[in-house]
């Protein structure tokens, strides 16, 4: 075991001397800790050796026929103290007196015991506090679905009341609407700050950080933690938390955290997925956005248009609500109002309803449904945005208004099953609407199509010769663990060779659209997120990139356009449903004209 | 060893640590309440490794033994302090043994909680090696602290001196006299 620890210490020393890792911070704290750990182990071995040798010398003194070396070997190796035995043998060469050997052992003994408790005292003052806090931090982790953000109020009216009360305060920023001041962070958030090991895995996997944006989840946590620690003495002496003498007078944004840090996040959860001590980042960032949006009205101006569009027309494209079902023209898709007992409600989502490219996903899905004789209907103009972009952008009130409207509509129909095209809708309907009284069985279209294939209702018989790289959508994969269904659908298509990007599944890089980034100008960095992700996918040598999210599709299509000149051969971008559509020989009359044209 | 020195060392450093920890705890209390339940579903939190959503029989056994050991250890130690002679030693050894077992299992629980470590192979393995070292270290330290009070303390009633050692000591004593 001592050898194992010394191996560990040596490995970390190597990381600090030879193979320096960018994600790590190199300070003297780590050296102290590594030194203490190594010394503790050596002291322990010294104690064993001293004690063993003194016993052997005592035995030899009592009976000169007892051989010191053999005595040490016999007792040392039998008790498994290999290093101690070897050291005792070495010390036996220079020490022949039991008292001296015992004294050596005592030095090891007291050094060991002292260092253990000294180390314990050192822990709260450095990043190694995680030795103590990681256990409670993991124990008190959020057990609710990973993709769920906690609601700020039970209803939008209650939230309006909270906001009204905040506006009446002399300093509205001091009101706990989201996170404006340090005291608005929950005790668990603060425990997260304590627990950060500064390993940097969060930043290493953050799409914003990797493309040169200001956001680094690790430094966000460290900055907040350091600010918190600066107030420890004040907190200890603080007796009143009144407005007159606030404990934390500074605004979190911009006094501690730069606004660009907050607005660069794509809410992809790559940081949370990697964090070994279960620190959450997305909820904190959204909480800071909530305060900026709802209390201070400070947010990127492009979002103003999006918020207005969502409020007025129920979609971020700001197209009229009445045109929501136009994508289905000529497909004879029934509406829930006409067929309220349909077995499946197909939740199309804004992108597949309004975006010309994404409409093709909805059309392909519907054609596959019809081929499989699925009893389904859509909401048409009754459907409105789930509110995901508003919520991730910090506009909780707008989200609640949209969500309440949808929940009322859906509860009116009580759908047996909801199939979504968009992973963002999927996540919101499945994980967030239950907080507002909307509990439904929700399935992503890739999962549903896999079921149809498994049941034999769909048959992928037509070959599609392509090398396909599948891009994992964050809200489908990391948020909801749907990794295999889209891959299985693709693998079922004859001729498809599935290849994986170096970063895939839970490590998959975000496309850059999440967290309302789709509706903001990307901050300046070294690279655009979608370009980086597209490059990773193209580097697989794929002739086709498949995805299961209309927003990812937009970003990856843009990425391909941006690198058009560098591509040796054209790379196509398709949704899983579109690819499956190409592989199915349609028996029904409504064979897809697009499918024919593109095949 | 030296019980007084051990009491002063351990007591003093633990008191210092308690002060530091208490100040951090006070700072934690300046935060707001959390919107998510953090101490609900205790059994799930204890028995399931992070990211594991299904019930785990292994986790349940691990946590049960850990809790029983940790709860029984103070009783045995208290019994040791109140008793005398051989009974005192047995109780102390049992208490230390149970504490070591509970602590060891607790640390094993936290090794199990490090489910994400292997994502970075070399650093992950090195960290787990250090962590397992710490598990042993905790057991070892408990034993050493026990030896600070009584040199024969070993977990679960074992004896530091081998069967041969007592008569060797006696013979050595006779030889020197």
What are the pLDDT digits (tens) for B3-27? 888 889 889 999 999 999 999 999 9
Helix (H, G, I), strand (E, B) or coil at A419: strand
Cα–Cα distance measured from residue B122 to residue A179, given in angstroms and rounded to the nearest whole number: 38
Give the length of chain B: 177
Cα–Cα distance measured from residue A127 to residue A24, given in angstroms and rounded to the nearest whole number: 12
Residues A38-61: what's their mean pLDDT? 89
Shortest Cα distance, chain B CAs vs residue A398, angstroms: 20
**A246 near B CB under 8 A:** no
pLDDT of B177 reads: 43
Nearest Cα residue to A229 out of B30, B13, B15, B33 = B30
Most B-contacting residue of A15, A41, A62 (CB-CB within 10 A), to test interface: A62
- The tens digit of pLDDT for each residue in A449-494 reads 999 999 999 999 999 999 999 999 999 999 999 999 999 999 999 9
Cα–Cα distance measured from residue B92 to residue A53, given in angstroms and rounded to the nearest whole number: 27
Q: Is B15 exposed, middle or buried (0-12, 13-18, 19+ CB in 10 A)?
A: exposed
Q: What angle do CA A29, A30, A33 make, to 5 degrees?
A: 90
pLDDT of A244 reads: 58
Handedness of CA A120, A125, A131, A134 (dihedral sign): positive
Shortest Cα distance, chain B CAs vs residue A10, angstroms: 9
Q: How far is CA B65 from the centre of its chain?
A: 13
**B74 near A CB under 8 A:** no
Chain B partners within 8 Å of A37 (Cβ): 130, 133
Confidence of residue B174 (pLDDT cuts 50, 70, 90): low
Q: Is the ipTM of this complex over 0.95?
A: no
| Closest Cα in chain B to A190 | B28
Chain A partners within 8 Å of B141 (Cβ): 112-113, 116
504-523 in chain A: CB under 8 A from chain B: 507
Interface size A-B, in CB pairs within 8 Å, comes to 193
Helix (H, G, I), strand (E, B) or coil at B62: helix
- The tens digit of pLDDT for each residue in B100-143 reads 899 888 878 877 777 666 667 777 777 777 777 777 777 778 87
- What the block records as the tokens of A96 is 């022949």
Note if the bond before A254 is cis, omega within 30 degrees. yes
Most B-contacting residue of A30, A58, A280 (CB-CB within 10 A), to test interface: A58
- Torsion angles phi and psi, residue A33, rounded to 5: -65, -45
pLDDT of B161 reads: 41
Q: b/e map of B110-120 (b: 16 or more CB within 10 Å)?
A: bbbbbebbeeb
Q: How far is CA B30 from the centre of its chain?
A: 31
Please give the DSSP secondary-structure letter assigned to residue A501.
-
Whether A509 and A544 have beta carbons less than 8 Å apart is answered as no
**B4 near A CB under 8 A:** no
Chain A partners within 8 Å of B175 (Cβ): 61-62
Cα–Cα distance measured from residue A125 to residue A77, given in angstroms and rounded to the nearest whole number: 40
A37 and B130 within 8 Å at the Cβ level: the answer is: yes
pLDDT of B130 reads: 75
pTM summary value: 0.86
- The tens digit of pLDDT for each residue in A192-233 reads 999 999 989 999 999 999 999 999 999 999 999 999 999 888
**A59 near B CB under 8 A:** yes
Q: Which residue has the higher pLDDT, A262 or B144?
A: A262
Please give the DSSP secondary-structure letter assigned to residue A544.
E
**B7 near A CB under 8 A:** no
78-107 in chain A: CB under 8 A from chain B: 106
Chain A partners within 8 Å of B27 (Cβ): 190, 228-229, 231-232, 235-236
- What the block records as the tokens of A169 is 């305060």
pLDDT of A596 reads: 45
Whether A53 and A75 have beta carbons less than 8 Å apart is answered as no
A176, A181, A308 from A164: Cα distances, Å: 12, 18, 21
The CB-based long-range contact list for B160-165 (8 Å cut-off, 24+ gap) reads B162/A75, B164/A59, B165/A55, B165/A59
How many Cβ atoms are within 10 Å of A398's Cβ, its own excluded? 23
Chain B partners within 8 Å of A44 (Cβ): 137, 140
Chain B partners within 8 Å of A40 (Cβ): 137
């Amino acid at each position: 075991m001592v050898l194992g620890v010394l191996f560990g210490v040596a490995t970390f020393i190597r990381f600090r001397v030879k193979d320096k890792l960018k994600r790590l911070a190199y300070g003297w704290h780590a050296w102290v800790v590594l030194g203490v750990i190594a010394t503790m182990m050596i002291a322990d071995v010294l104690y064993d050796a001293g004690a063993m040798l003194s016993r052997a010398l005592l035995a030899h003194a009592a009976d000169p026929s007892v051989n010191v070396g053999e005595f040490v070997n016999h007792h040392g190796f039998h008790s498994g103290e290999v290093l101690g035995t070897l050291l005792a043998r070495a010390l036996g060469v220079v020490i022949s007196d039991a008292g001296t050997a015992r004294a050596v052992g005592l030095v090891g003994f007291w050094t060991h015991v002292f260092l253990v408790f000294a180390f314990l005292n050192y822990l709260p003052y450095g990043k190694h506090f995680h030795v103590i806090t990681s256990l409670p931090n993991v124990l008190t982790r959020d057990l609710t679905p990973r993709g769920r953000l906690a609601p700020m109020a039970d209803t939008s009216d209650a939230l309006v009341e909270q906001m009204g009360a905040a506006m009446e305060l002399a300093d509205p920023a001091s009101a706990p609407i989201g996170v404006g001041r340090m005291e608005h962070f929950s005790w668990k958030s603060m425990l997260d700050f304590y627990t950060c090991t500064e390993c940097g895995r969060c930043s290493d996997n953050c799409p914003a950080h990797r493309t040169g944006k200001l956001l680094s989840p690790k430094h966000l946590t460290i900055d907040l933690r350091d600010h918190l620690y600066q107030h420890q003495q004040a907190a200890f002496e603080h007796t009143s938390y009144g407005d007159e003498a606030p404990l934390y007078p500074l605004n979190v944004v911009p006094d501690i955290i730069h606004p660009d840090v907050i607005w660069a996040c794509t809410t992809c959860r790559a940081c949370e997925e990697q964090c070994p001590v279960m620190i959450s980042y997305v909820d904190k960032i959204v909480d800071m956005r909530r305060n900026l949006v709802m209390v201070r009205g400070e947010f990127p101006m492009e979002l103003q248009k999006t918020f207005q569009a969502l409020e007025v027309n129920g979609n971020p494209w700001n197209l009229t609500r009445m045109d929501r079902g136009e994508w289905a023209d000529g497909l004879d898709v029934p509406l829930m109002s006409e067929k309220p007992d349909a077995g499946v409600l197909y939740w199309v989502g804004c992108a597949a309803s309004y975006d010309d490219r994404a409409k093709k996903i909805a059309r392909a899905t519907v054609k596959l449904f019809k081929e499989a004789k699925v009893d389904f209907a859509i909401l048409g103009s009754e459907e409105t945005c789930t509110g995901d972009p508003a919520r991730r952008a910090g506009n909780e009130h707008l989200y609640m208004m949209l969500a309440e409207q949808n929940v009322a509509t859906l509860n009116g129909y009580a759908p047996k099953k909801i199939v979504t095209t968009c992973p963002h809708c999927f996540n919101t309907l499945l994980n967030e609407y239950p907080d507002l009284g909307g509990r439904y069985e929700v399935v992503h279209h890739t999962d549903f199509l896999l079921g149809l294939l498994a049941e034999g209702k769909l048959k992928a018989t037509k070959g599609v010769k392509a090398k396909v790289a599948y891009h994992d959508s964050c809200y489908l994969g990391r948020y909801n663990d749907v990794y295999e269904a889209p891959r299985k659908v693709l693998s079922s298509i004859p001729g498809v060779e599935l290849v994986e990007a170096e970063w895939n599944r839970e490590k998959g890089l975000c496309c850059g659209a999440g967290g309302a980034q789709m509706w903001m100008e990307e901050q300046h960095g070294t690279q655009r997120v979608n370009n980086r992700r597209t490059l990773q996918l193209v580097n697989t040598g794929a002739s086709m990139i498949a995805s299961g999210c209309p927003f990812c599709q937009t970003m990856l299509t843009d990425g391909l356009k941006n690198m058009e000149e560098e591509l040796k051969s054209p790379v196509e971008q398709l949704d899983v449903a579109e690819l499956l559509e190409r592989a199915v020989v349609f028996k029904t009359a409504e064979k897809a004209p697009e499918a024919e044209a593109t095949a | 060893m030296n019980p007084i020195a051990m009491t002063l060392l351990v007591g003093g450093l633990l008191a210092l640590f308690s002060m530091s920890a208490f100040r951090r705890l006070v700072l934690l209390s300046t935060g707001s309440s959390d919107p998510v339940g953090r101490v609900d579903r205790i059994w799930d939190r204890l028995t399931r490794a992070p990211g594991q959503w299904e019930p785990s029989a292994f986790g349940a056994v691990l946590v049960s033994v850990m809790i029983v050991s940790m709860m029984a250890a103070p009783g045995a130690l208290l019994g040791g302090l109140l008793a005398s002679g051989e009974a005192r030693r047995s109780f102390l050894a049992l208490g230390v043994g149970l504490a070591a077992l509970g602590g060891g299992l607790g640390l094993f629980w936290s090794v199990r909680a490090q489910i994400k470590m292997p994502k970075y192979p070399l650093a992950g393995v090195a960290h787990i090696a250090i962590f397992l070292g710490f598990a042993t270290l905790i057991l070892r330290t408990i034993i050493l602290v026990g030896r600070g009070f009584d040199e024969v303390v070993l977990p679960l009633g074992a004896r530091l001196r081998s069967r041969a050692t007592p008569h060797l000591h006696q013979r050595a004593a006779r030889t020197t006299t």
